[in-house]
Amino acid sequence: MLFLGGYTIHLTAPAHLKAKLQTAFASHYRIPASIMRSPHTRLVGAFLFISVAAHGTAAELEWVKVSHDGKGFVLTDSGASFVPWGFNYDHEGDGKLIEDYWDDQWSTVESAFKEMKQLGANVVRIHLQFGKFMESPTEPRQHSLEQLARLVKLAESTGLYLDITGLGCYHKQDVPSWYNKLGEQQRWAAQAAFWEAVAQTCSASPAIFCYDLMNEPVVGGAKKRDDWLGGAFAGKHFVQFITLETKGRARHEIAQQWIRTLVPAIRNHDERPLITVGLVPWSLDRPGLTSGFVPEQIADDLDFIAMHLYPEKGKVDEAIETLKGFAAVGKPVVIEETFTLKCGAEELGQFIDESRQHATGWIGFYWGKTPDEYRPPKTIGEALTLSWLELFQEKRDAILAGNKSVAERRER
């Protein structure tokens, strides 16, 4: 028995044909090797027999694609517009990343997905760490892929879409020493191997909304760096460099080359989910600090623009102007990270309202506790998180009402 895109598949065949049938079936349907080797996948009996039965709510999920006008998202079968509204589930309240507890505390993951769904989310962004998924530059960790497949099934049964962000090096101590020693091109090849393994594992599921190649990548400058990671924030390294020095190359061209290395690795196994990159707000081609990932230079290689924006107190207008810069490239924009980090809930709510003319999706944060569990808040951090979760619930119906697309709103 195996699970294929939300269906249960039973296979039977003569013993002497077992290996050939497994190989042929896996190749045709792009089933990950880890699943074909599972004890739950069997070929027995005298004939090849395949039966298909609905499993959970996976059959209810439709693939998501960019709308024909290029301004939003729609579901492929029904044609209904789709507005991403959800959470980053990057860690639990104790700071542990999902790979740190999804073996021994799977019930924690299940509860979190159920709670996010009950709060009104339709998308969950998960962050996969490179070191937890790669044994060597070319060899993925099979157990991690099996757990990822399990997570995809959980998303299907919960009715949630996944934004799978990869290549994380958030905990510096978990980054393999061999990875840090690789040169630029070798590192890119290892990153492509990561994405190939992930895409192959997830390829049958419509629950994959998108693959985000990396969280907040940056192209280095003319002066050579000695570290691939940016500075830490709350003990985690969210910013990562894709090159240590430009060697006379234009930074945006390096960004283009990197994207064009990774996208085919995914498309070799999974053609339907969308592909993007999680951009810092200082990616626009403006004076001062920039990431090198200039939206208008990389947009052609991505399905939509994902950007991270935390409005500052008293500067909602500035945040909207920044958002307009990303929207100007003419592709859907998802605000993939936002939160009450630099302003209160009232101003963040104002920002969300005003951003609806330029964005078509919003993803905040959830760290394993419901609003009721935060009440009454005992720390400033708990108060900020509670205010965000309450705002998320308050705005939910207006954002998702009729699931109207950005295009429809602009026509009014």
Q: Fill in the amino acid letter for 330.
A: G
Domain-wise residue ranges, the chain: 1-55, 62-411
pLDDT category of residue 234 using cuts at 50, 70 and 90: confident
Closest of 201, 191, 204, 207 to residue 265, by C-alpha? 191
User: 33-42, 266-275, 289-298, 380-389: which has the minimum mean pLDDT?
Assistant: 33-42
Closest of 195, 91, 90, 87 to residue 134, by C-alpha? 195
Phi, psi of 243 (to 5 degrees): -150, 150
Q: What is the DSSP string of 310-370?
A: -PPTT-HHHHHHHHHHHHTTSS-EEEEE--TTSS-HHHHHHHHHHHTTT-S-EEEE--S--
Termini Cα distance of the chain: 51
Which strands make up the sheet holding 64-66, listed edge to edge? 64-66, 73-75, 81-82
The answer on pLDDT for 411 being more than 50 is no
The answer on pLDDT for 12 being more than 60 is no
Q: How many Cβ atoms are within 10 Å of 29's Cβ, its own excluded?
A: 13
CA–CA gap between residue 295 and residue 305 (Å, rounded): 8
Tokens encoding 78: 């029904």
Question: Exposed e or buried b for every residue in 309-346, given b needs 16+ CB within 10 A?
Answer: bbbeeeebeebbebbebbbebebbbbbbbbbbeebebe
Instruction: Tell me the pLDDT of the chain averaged across its residues.
Output: 87
The answer on pLDDT for 303 being more than 90 is yes
* Residues 285, 307, 231, 176, Cα dihedral to 10°: -120
Do 298 and 259 contact (CB within 8 A), yes or no?
yes
* Residue range 92-116, pLDDT digits in tens: 777 899 999 999 999 999 999 999 9
Give the ranges where 72-215 is alpha helix by DSSP (H).
98-101, 106-118, 130-133, 142-158, 177-181, 184-202
Q: Write down the pLDDT at residue 93.
A: 72
CA–CA gap between residue 156 and residue 293 (Å, rounded): 33
The answer on pLDDT for 41 being more than 70 is no
DSSP 222: S
Strands 333-337 and 305-308 turn out to be parallel
Q: How many Cβ atoms are within 10 Å of 400's Cβ, its own excluded?
A: 14
Q: Fill in the amino acid letter for 20.
A: K
User: 34-38, 233-237, 280-284, 295-299: which has the minimum mean pLDDT?
Assistant: 34-38
* CATH code reported for the domain at 62-411: 3.20.20.80
* Residues 339, 309, 87, 270, Cα dihedral to 10°: -170
- How many helices (H) does the chain have, and how many strands (E)? 15, 16
Query: What predicted TM-score, i.e. pTM, was given to this entire model?
Result: 0.84
* Residue range 218-229, pLDDT digits in tens: 999 999 999 999
Q: Write down the pLDDT at residue 34.
A: 41
pLDDT category of residue 47 using cuts at 50, 70 and 90: very low
Do 242 and 218 contact (CB within 8 A), yes or no?
yes
Q: How many Cβ atoms are within 10 Å of 103's Cβ, its own excluded?
A: 10
Q: Write down the pLDDT at residue 76.
A: 95
Closest of 103, 100, 86 to residue 155, by C-alpha? 86
Q: What share of the chain is helix, strand, coil (3-state, %, to 5)?
A: 40, 20, 40
> Which residues, including other chains, have CB under 8 Å from residue 257's CB and lie 6 or more apart?
none
